[in-house]
A = this chain, B = another copy of it.
């Protein structure tokens, strides 16, 4: 941490530094709870994770802490810390405490659920996505109060940390509607996005949406010997492969009917801005699972492909015999897990309709098709870069990181659009993780000094906001 922590111009930085060791110890404890929301075997761990967070908030002195276990959702945590001034703005910090599965677990260099600190890096599932960033906000609030030498923050701060984000937030609409008064606010601060790079901090202004579904083709009622019937009956694995092969054209464009109808293309100015960000192809590939080459839709840069262009990806494909050796069968069933990343103003429900039409057109005679949606999907979201709240976040980040902060987007998905729609206020992004944190993959980590900068930025933001939102 550069600068003089006792310098009165940087009281938030000094406070963050004072709390840093406790912050890491607490986060490691939280990371040890395997709150894998997509796996029913871990739902009790999601509940434990919620209780851990609620207890931590109470220890920090938040007066109103609740664990919401209703609404059909896995447990969410809500807390409110009122400003001294009842007319002060109300902000709602959004995050999530559920995490992704950890397979292939044999590729982890450290146990996924211990929280292993190696130098500046803290390894563990959820370290970056999203427990680390939620913990960053707890630290930011403590630093804000310490810098103010007050018991009440400059703005009323509400915290809402859900437990189903990695499942596509299937019950979030009901949860928001059931708690509409608790969640009322003037601004949502969304905390589940990264900086562009360690040396190129950015403020995110948008996220892609998501629609996911599994398509299942069924032929017979049982696998059949390929010597007995091979060549005479439809093969569901071949058919599912043909469906996948038909998903893209030769230019890498998605061939669902009407897929691009609602896409808002970025302006030339936006594209020029993204082009100023440092981009190292080797680093990009290394951080993209060690990919050997780029690929994707023709006519767009790599950053544009993941930030402002929609996609169709196979997340998993499975049919027939997957064990050791050879088993000469025609399988009775094959399935593919597909997900579509969406950009404004695509809508998941329209993509669902288009997928149904596409599957119907690609189901050969003799096979039955089933589409199993994974929730209702997540709409995409983007924020105007000249909004006062965006400018305030940018200023707070620039002060904390001591350098200019540019704009970026992220290719991932989150419920920003849903929060915007149900709560009816703007959503801004404040995150301090990195794209190469290996979220959703083995060896997820977070860079601790960046979380500390992020906590400082949040603390500064709470001080700035009353004036900026007035």
Contacts and interface: CB of A to CB of B under 8 A. Distances in A.
Contacts of A229: 287-289, 291, 306, 411
Contact of A316 (B288, B295, B321): B321
Is the contact region of chain A dominated by helix, strand, or loop, or is it mixed?
loop
Interface residues of A, number: 103
Interface string A212-229: 100000011111111111
Nearest to A302: B232
Interface string A292-306: 111111000010011
Contact of A232 (B223, B238, B288, B292): B288
From A38, A324, A327, A438, name the one whose CB has the most chain B CB atoms within 10 angstroms. A327
Contacts of A367: 292
Interface string A229-248: 11111110110111111111
Nearest to A410: B227
Interface stretch (A115-123, A330-338, A416-424): A330-338
A220 to B, nearest CB: 3
B324 A314 contact: no
A51 interface: no
Nearest to A252: B231
Given A238-B248, A288-B232, A289-B229, A317 B314 contact: no
Contact of A323 (B103, B238, B242, B413): B103
A328 B210 contact: yes
A290 B222 contact: yes
Nearest to A284: B232
23 contacts: A39-B323, A101-B323, A212-B326, A221-B290, A222-B438, A222-B443, A225-B438, A226-B313, A227-B413, A227-B440, A228-B412, A231-B297, A232-B305, A232-B306, A237-B316, A241-B242, A289-B332, A292-B366, A293-B366, A315-B328, A316-B320, A316-B329, A327-B440
Interface of A: 38-40, 100-101, 103-104, 107, 167-168, 208, 210, 212, 219-235, 237-238, 240-248, 284-285, 287-297, 302, 305-306, 309-311, 313-332, 334, 336-337, 339, 341, 364-368, 374-375, 410-413, 435, 438-443
Q: Across the A-B interface, give the 5 residue pairs with the lowest CB-CB distance, nearest first.
A: A227-B412, A293-B366, A220-B289, A224-B289, A38-B325
